[in-house]
Structure 1
């Protein structure tokens, strides 16, 4: 089965490497501080992450994913099916991200999460 044909899943994770930072952070793709809830920064008060991935393989109790945006070894709290009819919400406004989306193509990291 081709990668794009594999079903997607949503992973709820524990951002175990996050730090206790203030509620304002300088996020990936920007050089200006923003409130943590207006960013995708891993350092959050609740340390819960959400990623949309494709299942790449199953080996016993070990699952492998593609397209994930988390570090290897991140604890997975739950796996839910990704259903576009329920999960995709179109919006006209995305705040400060709108000015920075052009930088995203091909950029995977800014080096902070090594």
Structure 2
């Protein structure tokens, strides 16, 4: 077995399939566990689990929980976040006023 830890950043609140409610924007640790495939002439690993570390809020502040997710669900949540950020950055409300050049 081997574990790999990385960090993903969400710019907007987001949801994950199978979990109720929104999670706040911010940085989240992702833990990927893989197992070595036996009997091959080269080293190869197979993903066995992916977890997202979620920090507690409100009464649960200071606690963290590992939520089981799929690579696909994580990728989809990141894609939706990027699309939301792109939309917000191009909306008229996000644009600064034009300078008067007269």
Q: Same fold (TM over 0.5)?
A: no
For the pair shown, which has the larger CA radius of gyration, 1 or 2? 2
In terms of fraction of residues, the more helix-rich structure is: 2
Greater relative contact order (Cα < 8 A, sep 6+):
1
In terms of fraction of residues, the more strand-rich structure is: 2
TM-score normalized with structure 2 length: 0.33
